[in-house]
């Protein structure tokens, strides 16, 4: 019986070191070697300072910027979660009505509400919206920035350039990363 216990303890120690130390170090080293930007969190730097991650939305109420999807976690990474409010929730109806009023005030969409702009993403941190929802915000952004027609055309080209196509042409939907788009329009 004692021998079985010693063998089990030795196996536990070996597997703990293998799966708890060597495997994570190997995977971390390999991903840093093959995908360095992604492995480090897709961090975005401006003038040598980290200003965010391309994987996370950043909320804004500034009319000179495109707005991302609403966030149930107020764009905070620590409480990143969905609200878990269901379709019969009065709180959810109030939130959506408030988002709808905010959206209508900042866009020219003839009353159409893009679902992604009035409902929060599952994580509350999704930086992507549809090209159509971004395009609906273009007039507001252009007005706030006082763009001339040449700058407006450059902005339309930037929207097209930042539209990510579906993976392999059929997996997912076209989308625009609003965080990266807002950085790009600062250059116009």
With b for 16 or more beta-carbon neighbours within 10 A and e for fewer, the 48-61 pattern comes to eeeebbebbbbbee
Position 3 scores a pLDDT of: 92
Asked if residue 50 and residue 30 are part of one domain, the reply reads no
pLDDT at 22 over 80: yes
Percent of the chain's residues with pLDDT above 90: 46
pLDDT tier for residue 129 given thresholds of 50, 70 and 90: very high
Enclosing domain of residue 15: 2-39
**Per-residue model confidence as pLDDT tens digits over 65-97:** 998 888 877 777 666 566 677 778 888 888 888
Asked if residue 28 and residue 53 are part of one domain, the reply reads no
How far the first Cα of the chain sits from its last, in Å, is 76
Residues 50 and 58 sit within 8 Å (Cβ to Cβ) = no
Asked if residue 115 and residue 57 are part of one domain, the reply reads yes
Asked if residue 95 and residue 178 are part of one domain, the reply reads yes
Output Rg (C-alpha) for the chain, integer angstroms: 23
Asked if residue 111 and residue 138 are part of one domain, the reply reads yes
Asked if residue 8 and residue 52 are part of one domain, the reply reads no
Q: How many independent structural domains does the chain possess? A: 2
Count of CB atoms situated within 10 Å of the CB of 97: 11
Asked if residue 152 and residue 118 are part of one domain, the reply reads yes
Asked if residue 153 and residue 96 are part of one domain, the reply reads yes
Asked if residue 98 and residue 35 are part of one domain, the reply reads no
Position 8 scores a pLDDT of: 95
Q: Is 38 helix (H, G, I), strand (E, B) or coil?
A: helix
Asked if residue 28 and residue 94 are part of one domain, the reply reads no
Asked if residue 47 and residue 35 are part of one domain, the reply reads no
What pTM value is reported for the model? Answer: 0.74
In this prediction, residues 121-145 reach a mean pLDDT of 87
Q: Which residue has the tokens 């929060």?
A: 120
Average pLDDT along the chain: 86
Asked if residue 118 and residue 25 are part of one domain, the reply reads no
């Amino acid at each position: 019986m004692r021998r079985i216990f010693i063998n089990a303890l030795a196996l536990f120690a070996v597997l703990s070191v293998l799966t708890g130390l060597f495997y994570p170090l190997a995977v971390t080293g390999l991903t840093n070697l093959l995908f360095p930007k992604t492995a480090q969190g897709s961090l975005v730097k401006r003038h040598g300072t980290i200003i965010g991650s391309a994987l996370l939305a950043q909320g804004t109420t500034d009319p000179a910027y495109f707005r991302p999807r609403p966030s149930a976690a107020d764009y905070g990474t620590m409480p990143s979660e969905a609200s878990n409010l269901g379709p019969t929730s009065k709180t959810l109806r109030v939130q959506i009505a408030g988002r709808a009023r905010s959206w209508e005030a900042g866009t020219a969409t003839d009353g159409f509400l893009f679902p992604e702009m009035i409902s929060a993403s599952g994580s509350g941190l999704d930086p992507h919206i549809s090209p159509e929802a971004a395009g609906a915000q273009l007039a507001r952004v252009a007005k706030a920035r006082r763009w001339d027609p040449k700058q407006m055309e450059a902005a339309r080209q930037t929207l097209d350039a930042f539209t990510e196509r579906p993976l392999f042409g059929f997996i997912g939907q076209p989308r625009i990363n609003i965080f990266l788009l807002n950085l790009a329009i600062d250059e116009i």
